[in-house]
Chain A
Amino acid sequence: MRFLARLAAMFAMIAALAAPALAQSGSPLVVTVTDGNVDPFPIAITDFIAQDTQSAETGADIARVVTNNLANSGLFAPVDQNAFIEDITNIDLRPRFADWRIINASALLVGRVSIDEQGRLLVAFRLWDTAAEQQILGMQFTSVPENWRRLAHKVSDAVYERLTGESGFFDTRIVYVSEGDGPNGEPTRRLVIMDQDGANPSFLTDRSYMALLPNYSPTNQQITYVSFRDLQATSYLYDLQTGRQEALFDSSNAAITGGGQSLSARFHPNGRELVMSVERRGRHDLYGFDLRTRALRQLTSNPSDDTEPTYSPDGRQIAFASNRSGQPQIYVMNADGTDQRRISFGPGRYTSPVWSPRGDLIAFIKQQGSMFSLGVMRADGTGEERILYDGYFVDTPAWSPNGRMLLFTRGDYSARGTRYSVWSVDLGGFNLRRLPTQGAASDAAWSPLLD
């Protein structure tokens, strides 16, 4: 009993001692912020400092390419260089952060270019957080001087990745179909490859035949495309490093002969297998194809048409379009063809599914009445579809390698026939931009990050 009383007294004393301490410090005000903004991130990019006369122009060029890349992504708002207050002359010194905060630059990118004794270009840069006043990234790259553009893209990718958390997509290429007219007015379709920002375009195929529907390998510099020669559609594999082309199925492949046609072959994420739709006896089924063993393996067998297959990035599933329920809808199945289930249920025709490299979404084209839409839906079929773009004609979606942007073919009505061009749009449906192609273009495919 006495013990209890003592204990109580002790507690009382502790409480008495603690109370004023608590009262003095006071509990902090708790604020919960649930809504922010998604404005582009303001970043200041100075001209890279040249260490010698040889690289003087390169420094400004690199800054220009980086600025252009980041601005085009829609996620960054580069600050106008005319607003800069501090003149950066040495990237190894701490910048005066107040000078950069006052022009609303949340980050500052400074860099240096030089040519070393062996004649190689050295590009170093530092990325500073102007609020926290610390360096958040510092790297350097080397290459031959003619390659400065790729170094600029690599700098862009590094900055993008550091500030957004996802991998960049600037050091990449895009293949598209250039639409034109031959000397006798006949339509031509030639494959063109260019840097992601439109620089360095060059033709991959000539005018003698039509080349359509390129798809990029996710692992290396190979594409598949469909060529029309002698009214026959054939899938080709084109190795961009060696320039070597081969028909995937010629008469030597017994499995396909007999009026078989193959279309739209897409790569497995490992780059060594393809999945495609093959037409035999008047109906389309899906087949897997091993590029090394050349073995063809049937995945679906269905009286209706199963077309446009696309692998999930883990290679375990395949999405495809099928008209088994009447109008084309989008289905998902295991990579071996089992467990086929429908995931699109809206009105209209759903076609051209393409699985996002991030894995959670499937892009599609929807046609309802005379309206075409580009949209994305969740790969598990839950939630609602999200329409990113509506238009007169929309086709062939292609993901950026980080799954943040989509390219698509857009047709616009004109008195002289539909005009085709390739556009990009981000996942939110914003940042709509025309791809800088020369002339009419369609059917774009985006490469993985180079290296």
Chain B
Amino acid sequence: MSDQTVCVIIDGQEVRCPAGCTVYEAATTAGIHIPTFCHHPKLVPVGACRQCLVEVEGMRGLQTACTTPVRDNMVVKVHTSPAAVKARKANIEFLLTNHPLDCPVCDKGGECPLQNQAMQDGPGQSRYVEEKRHKNKRYPLSELIVLDQERCVLCWRCIRFLDEWADDHELDLFGRGADTRIDTFPGRPLRSKWQGNTIDICPVGALTSRIFRFEARVWELTNTASVCPLCGVGCNIVLGVKNQKVRRITPRENMEVNDTWICDKGRFAHGFVDHPDRLKTPLIRRNGKLEPATWEEALDLIAARLNAILQEDGPQAMAALGSNQVTNEANYLLQRFMRVVLGTNNVDHIGRIPTGATPLTSLPGLEHRDVIVLLGCDPSTEAPLVELWIKKAVLRHGARVLVANPHQIELCRYGGPWLGYRPGGEVALLNGLVRAVLDVGAKDQAARAANIEESRSWLKAYTPERVEPLCGTPAAALRQAAEVLVQARRPLFLVGPAWTKGSGEQRAFDALANLTLLLNDAETGFVAGDANAWGALQMGVAPHWYPGQQPCQDPEIRNRLSSFWGTKLSPVPGLDWDGMLPACAQGKLKGMWIIGSDPAHRSQTAGEALKRIPFLVVQDLFMTETATLAQVVLPTASFAETEGTLTNLTGRLQMIRPAKRPPGQARPDWWIITELARRMVESKRQKSWDFASAASVFQEIAKVIPGYRGLSYTTLGEAGWQPAPAQVKARRHLVRVEADPPSADPNYPLELVTGRLLYDRGTLLRRASRIQNLVPSPYVIIHPDTANQFGIAHGDPVWLISSQGQLPFTVLVSDEIVAGTVFVPWNVSDPPVGMLVSEPEGLTRVRLAKQE
């Protein structure tokens, strides 16, 4: 569309609209409603259904408003043309002839465009006396969706959505004419993780959710605007609740986040919220058993025990873990409690965003990147909406997607190249790319580095051929990638949590900065997989950082916050998670409070260490493995039951809102922490804890964090608040970063790679019915060379053995993984693959043995 505007006259009304828009769009801007079926504002118009016929002066016959472009001074008649009105009425009549009219039992009832239009324009009485056509009803297309082919009006919006956005061509038209049906390939269910969106855009009740089916009539639902808590994107959603139970989740448009779409995990996995397993009352360990207690008892007990530890062992004997999955308010209060009430900086959370990472600046901005490089990052499983934006860049603008990952991920389908590497080889891989870019690129590339001449000497060692043995990436793939990179106009590097594990944060980012410095207009963004990863960091649940990532070691800042919080803050450096583990093991930590995370599930080491803590308090939704070790377990409210904010992977602050009451005695995190603090400060004359709501907590956060000044729940509103992108100082110098030699251990010759699947058996998803049927049984992917080496074949049952233990898996042999590594999905096996992992988390080496 151009910037020019034109004037058209629609039903006698003058309408100004951009040149090149359609008659339908022009009418919509003027508030003139033109009925449609096949048209959807997010899909390419096809003009198929003929519902939008209008009269245009000077044109023969009637025109489809959805496809006819406006011309200056065009005269259009929508409701004032008898011919057009008759045609639209007739079209509704045509549609209804074979429609089953089973509205009373249809899930779409109440929000059905066909129903509405039949009311508005329908003939009122049917002239159709023939037998209706019979097609498949209640026909499951997958675990999640059921199709009623008789209700379908064949607008093919669903097919077009899956084509134009998801690029998953799994639905199509079959047969022709009156016998046309929507269907999948014979016997093959829909697999797309975007299929749920077709339910929303279906203008009738042809595609319905198997999870929402018969749960409620839509008008019985109370709808609450909220945000999805299942990954770092934070898609905007609506929770539909009836009788204190979440019945369905639908997307809410936010062009800065999720457009109008959500992934199927966000839509269908809400079963955990109302699951009978939810913790409903506080539990106290009595005689070795966890038994129900009142809040009074539980909180009094905790206060007493913490006070006792304070007296006997001092503040440094206590620690806490916040979480990248709970609200900012909870995280903020937790660190405030530890620092202000107990006087320790021993506070951290697991899965902290690596130092040096910067948030992605914009999600819609992804569409305009011509080269997207994924470094140890799999958006399809870790942050699905990111995948959708990447697909938009690929499908609409031909972007290239380069993938550096130990095994092939879904986005490799766009041709890559795939840069398979062994964990630990990150620096080698990047140095190889730097070197290859300098080789294939012209002077432009070299000229960007001020110290190019002296750097050439250390880079000599990183020709693609020399890099190949260091990281396992084929030299040809590196060269191919370099060709793409030197031509990129606006490349974007998306870094995932896996990327910094093998080589360390500093070196991984330094090596990456070397590469981006050589390229045109490059940006790096970290793709956080958890709902509040940035928030947890930002709220200061980190030993070295106060809220707003203000360093604890800065005396000026410490003094300022001391006076703000009304207590003297401890200058003693805190323990991070890696430090807490040995401290537990050595008996130095006497008390610990864990909110919203399950470290015992993640690794053997953590579980062992936590057993040594004399007083462990766990606050969670479910009886997690960690909770079974606790002295006190506190039931908390889920995202659907509390107010608060989450910070997504672009740093955007967004609100979640209570849609229902928590089960039993469960309480929001902010309430629990406040109540405990109140009990403990009475004796200590500290500034009071007078938070009456999550909103009042947020008011304080807005005062403490410099960039948040002036924010409140009101200003966040429905759409949230996006901070200005951080100014990253552009480097001009290449930094010398040398690669590690590949690690080796003859007993454990293989490197273990773990990664998320979209659907797994984690704490929450395990309680989402139907979704569980989509989780594969435990498997390990190995390279054909590895299979040969161990004499193992595809489908064999094997033991995967590390220094920590062994677990059974089924083998999948595939060349879609780099040799020397094996891949196991996280949260699929029971016991969890964490059994094999030791912490502090680095690389885990394993070997295979055939099960006899």
Does chain A bind chain B?
A: no
Q: B interface vs A, CB < 8 Å?
A: none
Q: A interface vs B, CB < 8 Å?
A: none
